[in-house]
Amino acid sequence: MRRRFSLAGQTLRALIVANLLALGVISAGFILSGLSDRKDRRDEILEHMASDLGDALGFDGAGRLVLDHDADDWHERLEKDRSLQFLAFDPASGSWLAGSSAVLRAAIGDTWLRDWRQSRLALSLPDGTPLHGAIMTVSVDGRPLRVAIARADSTWDDTLSWAGEELTEEIAPSAVPALLLSLVVAYIAIRRAMRPVKAATARLGALDPTQAGDRLDEDRVPREIAPLVAAVNAAFDRVAASFAKERRFLADAAHELKTPIAVLRARIDSLADRATAERLGADIDRLGRIVDRLLTSARLEQAALRAAPLDLAALARDVVAECAPLALAGGREIALEAPPHPVAVEGDAAALAEALRNLINNALRFTPAGSAVEVTVAEAAGATVTVADRGPGLPDGLSDSVFTPFVSSEASGSGHAGLGLAIVAAVARRHQGRIEAANRAGGGAEFRLHLPRRLSAGGAGDRG
């Protein structure tokens, strides 16, 4: 499967690239600035080198001009720049520093060496390499000395070195923290900007597209995704309209079948052959139950939800008492476990009673004689009603589809159309809850109806 991309990640990466480009532009600006001032930069470097040479000079016991014992920096400079030519001259004694460049001495001449002015020079080595240099006066132990420095033109390297020093010493200490801070602020801003999207996603997961009016709020999302939210709402409206049309058709068809079934029942009852009449009467009863379930399903889906505070434990006691005679007649029992105090929820008492009644009747149909159907009311993450039996359990892969209309775990021709659990699912959905089915350890099935304590505004269909 193709990996999904992240809008937040892409935005953050774009900001990182933009900041790095800005840093690159600043670096390029420094380099260009250094190139435009390359002559001044070259002269400045030559002056620094001549000053470094003056700092490395000293006199030995015989008064001769020598490199001081701590001239390591100057030796390191000579190692780095093989084109470097230098000389040092003491006008008072006429002595030269050992190692002074003969080429440089010949190019300058004695006149310039005895002139105290600071000068610039240009010359070429015997191999034709052009050199640029400087002559200046330095003071060593109170004695004025003339020093000269010449080196090959390395404007590009010098500029890069200068730009690097400027960036690391002047720009980086402030630019890097600012860059990191901007990324942190951008990350926080992106996270905050994505909150409405995450909220809309969570809300979308709780919506029922078959119910009209249960939609995403287009005013609470960013302008950039508002068209997408509007398109989703429009798609939900089309789905809801299609379901509403289907429900109206089923309700109308069921209603129209009531009279023909009643007429057919009367004619069957008048048959002289009682055995045939009883068989046909059983079929008519089954058909009548299907029609009643269709009408009940349509009524629950279309009628306004009359939500009001109620005691779920008391409602469960009433429904269990209502179903107890049917259980006893079949040799079964119904056990109820509920808190002694009220379990307050908000909902439609009639609809919830119908859902619980269907769950109990479904369990009684499957649980064997001599066993009990267990009904439990609990307070966990809202309120929960569990109906468990000791029947054969659910076939593999049917735990989800068993709530689909006309899907039954029983074989075809059993007399049950698979509408009872679909009605339970519709009631749970309209109460912003959910229904779950699973097999029990030790055999049997368990149906768990989860309900919120309070219904959120606009989330439960139409409320009366």
362 CB-contact burial (10 Å; exposed 0-12 / middle 13-18 / buried 19+): buried
The strand pairing partners of 310, in sequence order, are: 345
Q: What percent of the chain has pLDDT over 90?
A: 16
Residue 378 lies in a domain: yes
Q: Taking 80 as the threshold, does the pLDDT of residue 430 lie above it?
A: yes
Residue 145 lies in a domain: yes
Note the pLDDT tens digit of each residue in 184-218: 888 888 888 888 888 888 777 767 776 666 778 78
pLDDT band at 321 (very low <50, low <70, confident <90, very high): very high
pTM as predicted: 0.49
| Tally of domains within the chain | 4
Note the pLDDT tens digit of each residue in 119-142: 888 877 777 778 888 888 888 888
Distance, CA of 115 to CA of 112 (rounded, Å): 5
Q: Bigger pLDDT: 360 or 240?
A: 360
The answer to whether residues 165 and 135 belong to one domain is no
Residue 119 lies in a domain: yes
The pLDDT value given to residue 397: 66
The answer to whether residues 188 and 79 belong to one domain is no
Phi-psi region of 443 (alpha: psi -120 to 50; beta: other; left: phi over 0): left
User: Which residues contact residue 337 at a Cβ distance below 8 angstroms, ignoring those fewer than 6 apart?
Assistant: 374, 375, 376, 377
The distance of Cα 255 from the centroid of its chain, to the nearest Å, equals 50
Give the domain range for residue 29: 7-36+159-200
The pLDDT value given to residue 232: 85
Helix (H) or strand (E) holding 334: strand 333-337
Note the pLDDT tens digit of each residue in 159-183: 566 566 666 766 677 777 877 888 7
Q: What is the CATH number of the domain that holds 81?
A: 3.30.450.140
pLDDT band at 314 (very low <50, low <70, confident <90, very high): very high
Q: Pairing mode, if any, of strands 372-378 and 333-337?
A: parallel
Q: What percent of the chain has pLDDT over 70?
A: 81
Note the pLDDT tens digit of each residue in 234-248: 888 888 788 777 777
The answer to whether residues 297 and 402 belong to one domain is no
Q: For 396-407, what is the mean pLDDT?
A: 69
Q: Taking 70 as the threshold, does the pLDDT of residue 113 lie above it?
A: yes
Q: Which of 174, 200, 226 is the last residue of a domain?
A: 200
DSSP secondary structure letters along 371-385: -EEEEEEE-SSSEEE
The pLDDT value given to residue 104: 83
Note the pLDDT tens digit of each residue in 230-289: 888 888 888 878 877 777 776 677 667 777 878 887 888 888 888 888 888 888 877 777
For residue 24, give the nearest of 36, 35, 16, 13 by alpha carbon. 16
The pLDDT value given to residue 319: 94
The answer to whether residues 364 and 333 belong to one domain is yes
Distance, CA of 310 to CA of 346 (rounded, Å): 6
The distance of Cα 57 from the centroid of its chain, to the nearest Å, equals 67
The pLDDT value given to residue 383: 94
Q: Taking 70 as the threshold, does the pLDDT of residue 31 lie above it?
A: no
Distance, CA of 369 to CA of 430 (rounded, Å): 34
